[in-house]
Amino acid sequence: MTPLLDSIESAQDLRRLSPSQLESLAAEIRQCLIQSLSRTGGHLGPNLGVVELTIALHMVFNTPEDKILMDVSHQAYIHKLLTGRRKQFDTIRQPGGLNGFMLRTESQHDAYGAGHAGTAISAALGMAVARDLSGGKNHVIAVAGDAAFTNGISYEALNNIAEQTKRLIVVLNDNEWSIDRNVGAIARYFHRIVANERYKHLHDSASRLIEKFGGKAAIHVARKAEEAAKGMLWPSMFFEEFGLTYYGPIDGHNIPLLTQTFEFLKSENRPVLLHVLTQKGKGFQPALDLQKKFHGLGPYDPETGQTKPAGQVTYSEVFANTLVQLANEDEKIVAITAAMPNGTALDLFRPHHPKRYFDVGIAEEHAVIFAAGMATQGYKPVCAIYSTFLQRAFDPIVHDVCLQKLPVIFCMDRAGLSGDDGPTHHGLFDIGYLRDIPEIVLMAPKDEDELADMMLTATQIPGPSGIRYPRGAVAGVARKSKPELLPVGKAEVLADGSDVAILGLGPMITLAQDLAGRLERDGISAAVVNPRFVKPLDVELIEQYAKRVHAFVTFEDHALAGGFGAVVLEVLSQLGLNVPVVRIGWPDRFIEHGKVDQLRARHGVTAEAAYLQLQPYLSSLRRRARVAI
Ligand SMILES: Cc1ncc(C[n+]2csc(CCOP(=O)(O)OP(=O)(O)O)c2C)c(N)n1
Ligand SMILES: CC(=O)[C@@H](O)[C@H](O)COP(=O)(O)O
Ligand SMILES: [Mg+2]
């Protein structure tokens, strides 16, 4: 039961609550998160950590006039609960339900959509400057996690703030966690603040003072105390060099303290950064014990936190275990992740080769250039970066890796539909953004066994290569004991045929086989081809079939625009062969969140859709088949 939470329709309702009622509200919100997400899954840990912070923000600031941005915005569930979406909350990340991130089209209170890290401060600065230009008086607040400060864009924005505006509030939500433990010098710096006893004492007493007397006086006294300590390496110096006045660190779970601090910061006529200390997973012991797991997960037992055992092996696990094997035999192989050791499964690789494992933080551009640097010294860097996050590194892939023909291997996990995370996370564009770059080899395995073959093959290619594979369970095929080299640029014919050529890219080969079966039942013979390579495409095979069949069909878990089917069209045109091509893939729009099979059915990414689109090209074939019968 959450009576207080159910009564909140807007911030005005919030402000009518007494301090003890606000504490009860926080408890109700935690109960709602734990219970509801146990059914839907979601980013439980990050949201449990910002319950009081979000309450305090909405106590003091008035959205939509005031703009509250959250970096990544995976921790915006409480914001949604407090801005009129309580009734739909149990639909979050469900088909047709609330999005798991802030979404401007979902609510006027969602000031800025996100899903990829590092954008909040930059976008908030843009809003603040726009406000100043138009003479606005509203407030702009960017909440960014400690790991968001491992992302370069955050610093590009910080570097600009002091010159651009007098009024911007940045809140550093420091829980010492990214998805895994946060990494790098900035994480150590933040930790020094938190761990520094003298600084802690100073701030504990200042916090008490603020709580007791509240308002500007107390905060100014606290600040004077801090100024007095300025001689040492105090935390404020780092941010003050960027022109932001630093406050904190303060307890990010203390609603009165947070509220009074925000009330004070509202009146500051200079950019400020408030450092709040929070606990990721607060209020649910399993989430406190297993912060990595509860960063984001599927349904779980709300009492114990137990999740269903993962029934099947994932492509990520096959990737990581294969990489261990390859690295055992080739000491030049190194593995690089951008803050996603768990998601890419490189946390399985790390124990085997700790010196050849690198987590660079949420810094995909740096990850690729770092890999390029290592490659110039004879190493074979494997960048394990989700297809969607690799979008951040397009220029480094062109400028640093391909232009210099460096043997960097991009293992693009989550290539294809990502499901519940929605449009910010679907990996539907990597062929489009990579295939036009000279020197790169692009591959897509039909199953886990071929993924291993492609990884071995990539280590033998003297230049850059990319392998795209999907989120989730493998096909369940028999595995060879050791991977084998593949002939680069050569496709694999799984079934020959003379009427239709069906090319199923990667795991979409199953749709190709399904379609071939339907056509066989109509007496139409269909070739089934596993392309294996998007670049270089097997032009010889394409030409051979184009001179024989009446139509081509391509299947891909990628956008049609600039995708695999487009490459086939281009090759046929270059060959001067006018064969109809039915292309099955994602339409030219952002695909909403949802369950993969439902989204495929809704958007025509099915064998059925191909079968229907083929009809106009098959009537003559059918007549011939009937005559033959
Ligand atoms: C560009 C990009 N890379 C990686 C991710 C995956 N990711 C989502 S949340 C997260 C960690 C965020 O940590 P922090 O900012 O500290 O927020 P917290 O979850 O701790 O509240 C990461 C790496 C992403 N969303 N965007
Ligand atoms: C918010 C974010 O970007 C990550 O937590 C992402 O949701 C992980 O996706 P997977 O669940 O596919 O690893
Ligand atoms: Mg964090």
User: Are 240 and 266 in contact, with CB atoms under 8 Å apart?
Assistant: no
d(CA 63, CA 93): 23
Q: Is the peptide bond before 302 cis (omega within 30 degrees of 0)?
A: no
For residues 91 and 97, what is the distance between their CA atoms, to the nearest angstrom? 5
**Strand bridging mode 441-443 / 533-535:** antiparallel
Express each pLDDT in 522-563 by its tens digit: 999 999 999 999 999 999 999 999 999 999 999 999 999 999
Q: Tell me which residue of 287, 289, 361, 351 sits closest to 320, measured CA to CA.
A: 351
- Ligand 3 centroid to Cα of residue 469, in Å, is 28
Q: What is the mean pLDDT of residues 588-604?
A: 98
Is the confidence at residue 133, as pLDDT, over 80?
A: yes
Choose, from 80, 86, 280, 293, the residue flagged as catalytic: 280
Half-sphere exposure of 255 (CA within 13 A, CB side): 21
Check pLDDT > 90 for residue 193: no
Q: Which pLDDT score, from 0 to 100, does residue 482 have? A: 96
**To test the ligand 2 pocket, which listed residue (425, 426, 471, 596) has its Cβ within 8 A of the most ligand atoms?**
425
DSSP letter for each residue of 90-153: GGTTSTTS--SS--TTT-TT--S--SSTT-HHHHHHHHHHHHHHTT----EEEEEETGGGGSHH
- Ligand 2 pocket: which of 119, 307, 391, 421 to mutate (most atoms <8 Å of CB)? 421
pLDDT value at position 233?
47
Closest ligand to residue 176's CA? 3
Whether 364 is catalytic: yes
Mutate to test the pocket of ligand 1, among 156, 179, 190 (most ligand atoms within 8 A of CB): 179
pLDDT value at position 10? 86
Residue 273 has phi, psi (to 5 degrees) of -125, 125
pLDDT for 187: 92
State whether the beta carbon of 180 lies less than 6 angstroms from ligand 2. no
Compute the distance between CA of residue 123 and CA of residue 108 in angstroms, rounded to an integer: 16
Catalytic residue among 28, 364, 448, 450: 364
Distance CA 294, CA 287 (A): 5
CB atoms closer than 10 angstroms to residue 250: 23
* Ligand 2 contact, 72 CB (< 6 A): yes
Ligand with smallest separation from the Cα of 470:
2
State which amino acid sits at residue 545: Y
> In this model, does residue 491 exceed pLDDT 60?
yes
- Among 350, 380, 392, 535, the one annotated catalytic: 392
Please check if 115 is assigned to a binding site: yes
ipTM: 0.99
593 is an annotated ligand-binding site residue: no
The pLDDT of residue 209 is above 70: no
User: Which alpha helices (DSSP H) does 178-234 contain, by range?
Assistant: 185-195, 197-213, 215-228
- Give the ligand with the smallest distance to the CA of 50: 1
Q: pLDDT tens across 437-448, in order? A: 999 999 999 999
Contact present, 352 and 320 (Cβ < 8 Å): no
Determine the pLDDT at residue 434. 98
Q: φ, ψ for residue 247 (rounded to 5)?
A: -125, 140
CB atoms within 10 A of CB 430: 27
| Residues lining ligand 1, Cβ inside 6 A | 46, 49, 71-72, 74-75, 116-117, 145-148, 173, 175, 177-179, 280, 338-340, 362, 364, 389, 392
Confirm if 124 and 141 have CB atoms less than 8 A apart: yes
Distance 619 CA to ligand 2 centre (A): 46
Query: Does 74 count as an annotated binding residue?
Result: yes
Task: Say what the pLDDT of residue 232 is.
Answer: 47
Alpha carbon nearest to ligand 1 atom 17, residue: 145
Distance CA 586, CA 563 (A): 9
Ligand 2 touching residue 380 (CB < 6 A): no
What are the tens digits of pLDDT across the range 401-438? 999 999 999 999 999 999 899 999 999 999 999 999 99
Full set of structural domains in the chain with CATH: 3-287 (3.40.50.970), 315-468 (3.40.50.970), 492-628 (3.40.50.920)
Which pLDDT score is estimated for 310? 81
